Structure 1
Amino acid sequence: MNTDEQAVWGSEDVSSGKDAGDENFPVGSLLISRRLRPHVHAYYDFARVIDDIVDTDRLDAQQKIARLDAMEDVVLGRRTAPDRRDAQTAVRVGRTLARTGVSTNTATDLIVAFRQDAVKNRYDTWEELEEYCRYSANPVGRFLLELHGEDPKTFAASDALCTALQVINHLQDCADDLRTLDRCYLPRPWLEREGVTVDDLRRPYAVPGLRRVFAALLDRVDELNRHAVLLPRMIRDRRMRMEAAVIVGLSKRLAARLRVEDPVAGRVKLSRADVVGAVAGAMHTLV
């Protein structure tokens, strides 16, 4: 690797070592067919690494963007990657996209979102947040649907589900994101309207104004989930239909938990009963 390439890629792997088990809704579950699972894992690994790039404290904003640009170039076949775990995830996802015919923007759109994370740490409107989710979350659902050969008519309901999941994740991590990354996705005017500020997320628990902001965001999530309910019945592949139905159920259950539990005091999580209930509720999609 020449000096210019060394400056871009750096000298160390930035991957965190997290895996699908660290997520609320792990992709590549047993509901995905064995034949397609390696492609899903390749996509997941790539997404995890570019997320790690933007969240590391070992790179400044411009270094993060340069590394993300390089990952995009590898995915699109415009440059080679060093023989290192994090960079090689871009090679593998590029091969997956080429072999399956899934759109390259299901990978490169994620990079658009993470470039934004490198330079933007506050949001002023719901529309800004939705636009971020368009790139940070919606491509994941579209990747899975394209991989299964589903009709593009499924995309709108999938986008609603993925945006709901992303906003839920922002609520779960609101205090930690501010503390570790100085990043907050809660719209600032919504906070101001309720007489609170971003710094109220540093308290040991959510004050009433914050609770009202959470409730307003969850109202939007509930609306998205009502649209997402349509997704399973639109999917032809039985296993993917079941996967979608389970995730819709989990999304609704976690949103309900966030209504009554405090994400500032501690991360709100799904219970085993939530998972069992979501799976049981999805069984009707198999008939």
Structure 2
Amino acid sequence: MNTDERAVWGDADVSSGKDAGDENFPVGSLLISRRLRPHVHAYYDFARVIDDIVDTDRLDAEAKIARLNAMEDVVLGRRAAPARRDAQTAVRVGRTLAQTGVSTPTATDLIVAFRQDAVKNRYDSWEELAEYCRYSANPVGRFLLELHGEDPRTFGPSDALCTALQVLNHLQDCADDLRNLDRCYLPRPWLEREGVAVDDLRRPATVPGLRRVFDALLDRVDMLNREAASLPGLIRDRRMRMEAAVIVGLSRRLAARLRRQDPLAERVKLSRKDVLGALAGAVRTLV
């Protein structure tokens, strides 16, 4: 790399090394056809790397945005990528988009969200949070649906599901996000209304006002999950229909767990029983 390129890419990648097994929900699972799985994994690897770029403490905000911009340029074919893992994920996802005809914004919209994460660490309304999810989460569902050639009618309930999953993840990680990244996605006016503050997320257990904020967000998630319930019935591909049904079931189960458990006191996560229950429920979508 020349000096200018090194200034953008740095001397080493910042990818975390996490893989699909670190996620709550299936990523390119066996429910997706073997023919399409490599494209799903290429997309996932790209999303993981750009997420790692914005979450690393080894880059300042300006450097993060410069590297995200470079990743976008590689996806769009506007620049070459160095021969290293993080940059090559952009090459592979660009190749996937070209081979499959899936729309470019399903990848580049993720970069919009992560640029925002580099400079914004507080949210002042549900609408702001939903707009963030529009770019950080909804493109993932649209990528899968476009990859399977599904009708655009599926996009609305898919967006609802993906936004629900993103908010659930914010609730799971609310203490870690604040401690490690000084980032809080809970709307500040909601906290103020209940007489609590962002710093209450640093406590070892949830205080009553904060619990009410969590439950108010879960009320929104429940509404989104109800909208998402129609998604499997709109999907033509049998495997993708089952995948969607499983994820709808897991989203509902995780929301219920977050109602009962305290994300400050413990890591709230799905159990094997939850997964088996969601699978059993999904089977009914094939009958």
Query: TM-score, normalised to structure 2's length?
Result: 1.00
Distance in 2, Cα, partners of 1:108 & 1:266: 34
User: Any residues of structure 2 matched to 1:187-202 within 5 Å, and which?
Assistant: 187-202=187-202
Q: Secondary structure at the match of 1:144?
A: helix
Distance in 2, Cα, partners of 1:138 & 1:79: 27
Q: How far does residue 248 in structure 1 lie from its aligned partner after superposition?
A: 0.1
User: Any residues of structure 2 matched to 1:1-287 within 5 Å, and which?
Assistant: 1-287=1-287
Identity of aligned residues (%): 87
Distance in 2, Cα, partners of 1:25 & 1:114: 21
The AA in structure 2 aligned to 1:234 is L
Structure 1 residue runs without a partner (length 5+)? none
Asked if the contact 2:8/2:63 (under 8 Å) is kept, the reply is yes
Asked if the contact 2:123/2:186 (under 8 Å) is kept, the reply is yes
Distance in 2, Cα, partners of 1:65 & 1:137: 19
Give CA deviations for 1:44-89 in whole Å, capped at 9, x if unaligned.
Answer: 0000000000000000000000000000000000000000000000
Distance in 2, Cα, partners of 1:22 & 1:200: 27
Q: How far does residue 26 in structure 1 lie from its aligned partner after superposition?
A: 2.8
Distance in 1, Cα, partners of 2:133 & 2:146: 19
Asked if the contact 2:26/2:247 (under 8 Å) is kept, the reply is no
Give CA deviations for 1:63-121 in whole Å, capped at 9, x if unaligned.
Answer: 00000000000000000000000000000000000000000000000000000000000
Distance in 2, Cα, partners of 1:180 & 1:26: 26
Distance in 2, Cα, partners of 1:95 & 1:76: 10
Q: Secondary structure at the match of 2:196?
A: coil
Structure 2 residue runs without a partner (length 5+)? none
The AA in structure 2 aligned to 1:266 is E
The AA in structure 1 aligned to 2:278 is A
Distance in 1, Cα, partners of 2:191 & 2:200: 10
Give CA deviations for 1:146-180 in whole Å, capped at 9, x if unaligned.
Answer: 00000011000000000000000000000000000
Give CA deviations for 1:180-212 in whole Å, capped at 9, x if unaligned.
Answer: 000000000000000000000000000001100
Query: TM-score, normalised to structure 1's length?
Result: 1.00
Asked if the contact 2:124/2:188 (under 8 Å) is kept, the reply is yes
Asked if the contact 2:51/2:114 (under 8 Å) is kept, the reply is yes
Runs of 4+ in 1 over 2 A off after TM superposition: none
Q: How far does residue 284 in structure 1 lie from its aligned partner after superposition?
A: 1.2
Give CA deviations for 1:208-241 in whole Å, capped at 9, x if unaligned.
Answer: 0110000000000000000000000000000000
Q: How many residues end up aligned between the 2 structures?
A: 287
Distance in 2, Cα, partners of 1:267 & 1:82: 37
Q: How far does residue 286 in structure 1 lie from its aligned partner after superposition?
A: 1.5
Distance in 2, Cα, partners of 1:224 & 1:14: 34
